[in-house]
Chain A
Amino acid sequence: MIHAQDLVKAYELGGQTVRALDGVSVDIAAGEMIAIRGPSGSGKTTLMNILGCLDRADAGSYTLAGEDVARLSGDRLAEIRNRYIGFVFQTFNLLPRMTALENVELPLLYAGKHREARQAAIKAMETVALTDRMHHQPNQLSGGQRQRVSIARAIVTNPAILLADEPTGALDSRTGTEIMQLFKHLNADGRTIIVVTHDPTVARHCQREIYLRDGRVAQPSATEALQEVAP
């Protein structure tokens, strides 16, 4: 599903060049549920941006679902994101002044699939078990409900990959666990799920993890290892 080789990304920061990614290779098979974990500054957000086609690597190759996306233009990347990737953000990022259902429809509208948008959005809302809140606006929903809406928005186009950036970061631990259970269900239905997190308890829900340190894939140290953390 994802085949990325030797990704390099550097930033200019205060006159100094920071290599946020320094030769990262990632292979993710279809149907996996995988965590990308690492301390802050490890480059996991940069990696997520590149895997999510929000950004392009300076060097290296990236094939997504058989398509070479390393050098595509902004608008082509927007299409790729729309078709292959569903984003779930830490702060939900639902659009205000639109109902939950309208939020969920939006990716299909951008894809030009106006006719099936309403039906597909309702189906996605069923998947996240939130059909009774479809016509509420985001500010009338709880944090957990908002994250469910944003997951519904992420799956509405039936993308190959769900990319979740700290999806439980703004939720209490019980709601967070519920959301992770939801991801597991979606994964059980065959969706590939990538969760970016610094939180070992979240990573433990995944089948495997890629650990990043200083822009490289590394082994977690003893204190950072998953089994060291109390559940």
Chain B
Amino acid sequence: MMLWITIKVALRSLWANRMRSILAMLGIIIGVGAVIFVLSLVAAAKADMMGRITAMGTNLLVVSPGQRGTGGVMSGTQQNLTADDAEALLAKIPQIRDLAPVVRGNVQAKRLAKNSRTSLMGTTVTYFPIRSFEVEKGRLFNDADCDAMSRVAVIGATTATNLFGTEEPCNQVIKLNSINFRVIGVLKSKGDQGWFNPDDQVLVPYTVAMKQIVGVDHLNEIDIRANNEADLDTIMDRATKLLRKRHHLQEDQDNDFSIRNQAEMLKTADSMNQVLALLAGGIASISLLVGGIGIMNIMLVTVTERTREIGVRKAIGAKNGDILRQFLIEAVVMSGSGGAIGVLSGFVLAAILSRVTSLQASVSLFSVALGLGFSMGVGVFFGFYPASRAARLDPIEALRYE
């Protein structure tokens, strides 16, 4: 009853001083809004990334060269993964369904006056099903193209637009680092993945990429697809043994390569998200701090303005604790209202985000509870000093206050 009437009066006076209340609550509104929004963004990005990684197939293993260096000092990547390694793996381990050697680089792709800096991927035809690429137009290169070192290229959807605009790219000639390649196919768009855009790349037979463009004789990666998920551990085991033998590693030497599976990639993605969430938390706590100071400031003003009221309340029987409670409740009502507005604006931002991007941002109950809980906590914390000042006022002084 007392609580209810106090809240009611607090809300009425918030409403009576709308402008001032909004300004005082702004820090809280921004802080809570940011928390809600960023948490939903992180969750959406995570779900999206998980979706994409899972879409690549859960039967995937990626072999990459190890880090070079000794005693914990890393100095670049080893250059010891070869096409022969890839062939040996496929030949010796029956659980491997197929694999694709990968060479990476960057190229200047040119077509007439149009010019585009893009990433180059040298691989075999098996790469496309392993990484779930589908062809939109034309065809993919095949094993014969690899063996014959044909200068043919399959290009991503974005690259196609960059170089050809609306023109038909198939059977046109482009220059990759000044060497003529014939475009034989265009890939279906997969959408930007943040750190890498799979739609903006040029794929050529790995033999051509190694000899004629990048100029290396080692691979950057071998993508392995297992017959089924249960075989992943066996493959990882046997591939490790085989590669160690092929690389002439002694018992006491570490692997000079690494083999990762989906779970590990998901973990990497997750840790990225955690950094994002931490960052958001940092921003939010700073703005909640600033917001709290704003609340404290306005509460001090309120206490001064209402000195007489405090005197009257004490005269008719309010104890110090009653006054303390009243102003604490008012501070919490104010910060809680700010929190509620912040939650609403977080919802709106998340909705806008879902509208304008492919991310499906939704606000979790947890983040709403977190936002409201924190904002009310801020009210209690920063409302305490003004409230205790109000409680300690002398009734006569307060009644006499003009």
Chain A interface residues toward B at CB < 8 A: 49, 52, 54-55, 74-75, 78-79, 81-83, 86-87, 89, 93, 95-98, 102, 105-107, 109-111, 114, 117, 153, 157
Contacts and interface: CB of A to CB of B under 8 A. Distances in A.
Contact of A81 (B1, B309, B316, B320): B316
12 contacts: A54-B314, A54-B395, A74-B319, A75-B319, A78-B318, A79-B319, A87-B316, A93-B315, A93-B399, A97-B12, A109-B5, A110-B317
A122 to B, nearest CB: 15
Contacts of B318: 78, 110
A92 to B, nearest CB: 9
A107 B312 contact: no
A84 B399 CA distance: 19
B13 interface: yes
Nearest to B395: A54
B313 interface: yes
Nearest to A108: B317
Contacts of A102: 5, 9
Interface in B309-355: 309, 311-322
A49 B394 CA distance: 12
Contacts, number: 74
Contacts of B312: 89, 93, 95
Contacts of B316: 81-82, 86-87, 106-107, 110, 153
Contacts of B13: 96-97
Contact of A97 (B9, B321, B322): B9
A107 B317 contact: yes
A102 B316 CA distance: 13
Interface string B129-142: 00000000000000
A215 to B, nearest CB: 17
The 7 closest A-B pairs by CB, nearest first: A82-B317, A114-B1, A110-B317, A97-B12, A93-B312, A75-B319, A107-B316
B396 interface: yes
B317 A78 contact: yes
A116 B311 CA distance: 25
B16 interface: yes
Contacts of B5: 98, 102, 105, 109
Nearest to A75: B319
A155 B320 CA distance: 23
A97 B315 contact: no
B113 interface: no
A90 B389 CA distance: 26
A74 B320 contact: yes
